[in-house]
Structure 1
Amino acid sequence: MAFYKHILYTGLSDEDLMRYVARGKEKAFTELYRRYGNKMLIFFYQRLYQDKEKAEDFLHDLFLKIIENPQSFNTNKKFSTWIYAVAYNQCKNEYRKNASGLTKKERYTLDSSLDICENPSFENDYDLKTFSESLELELQKMDDKHGLTFILRHQDGLAIKEISKIMQCSEGTVKSRLFYAIKRLAQKLQIFKGQIKNN
């Protein structure tokens, strides 16, 4: 019977799982962690200077907030947008706390993922590595808002609407930032033409 109940949890939406978490259902929380734990760990790792211990600490704090105060989530809203917004604010607070001692390069070590290119057609790992390094260097030159908007869209795969909620700006602003970021990258990375797409 316990196994059957767990299967029921796996079929629930994120929002329904949060309703059960608010009632103290441990397996509902476990299912949410299964869905988002690794995603959010990567999110923190890439945005917190590739510091694994710090990323794990932030992940712990994020899910602790869910356990301690599940009522802070409005179950009529989309959970994925909410959890990214909470994580994004955690990172912003960390940046503010350490801003005086950070270089721009350190703030952007988060952008070095190889997954940014959605449809890679590189002939070998060397070309992919070269593209990733070149893309990272160009992202380092962008301001935080444009660079992070690009990452949320093309690495994390979030919708325009979700990004607008996370970054607390209009959808038009998100689209404008993406247009600017992609135009700049296309100009700077012409050798990799066709690898970056404005979807």
Structure 2
Amino acid sequence: MNVADDKTIVKDYFNSTGFDRWRRIYGDGEVNKVQLDIRNGHQQTVETVLNWLQDDNLAGMSICDAGCGVGSLSIPLAQAGAKVFASDISEKMVEEAKDRAAAELANTDNLTFAVQDLEHLSGKYHSVICLDVLIHYPQAQAVEMISHLCSLSESRLILSFAPKTPALSLLKKIGSFFPGPSKATRAYLHKEADVIKILNSQGFTIQRQAMTRTRFYFSRILEAVRS
């Protein structure tokens, strides 16, 4: 399957059954145990990134939230005063994010949403953040995507991804990785060393790193800054 096919599947999934499933996971309503575990894991990743940024003066800082989902990161960043451009490949996800922003923020002037895939993002931002999106990209396309995100960042790039380790590779192989009948996209794991090599080749060095690990959610988080 080539990247165009993968992108079509991901887009269609998150505009249909996937949207309903992940909107529940990223919300606060009742979900099953697996979905609750994934919700908690994703929120831990978001909170890690917010904690990393809390010492910065976010007021007026330009941030691109690439693959924003329902706005779990974009909304608190905008609330802190950052100027946020948030995009997602799924039109339904973006509409949900807009609704949540309107409900949670008194003013949304510093928050812009767009339906757009990562490859077509443009502009320059102080910081570019891309959480839990690499899982949809095979290694060859991940190289191109990460390099493109680097080109958008003037100062910092924060990525999270499912790390390729023997244990997680085994879980994926036996079908326990992100389980559920409504799962309809491929899950790609990535070696941390490969991701760091790409970042280094684009003039970035690792400043901080963290790992979110729950029963069904695994995410390696890297913060890279321009050398």
Q: What TM-score comes out, normalization by structure 1 length?
A: 0.28
Task: With a CA cutoff of 8 Å and minimum separation of 6, indicate the structure with the bigger relative contact order.
Answer: 2
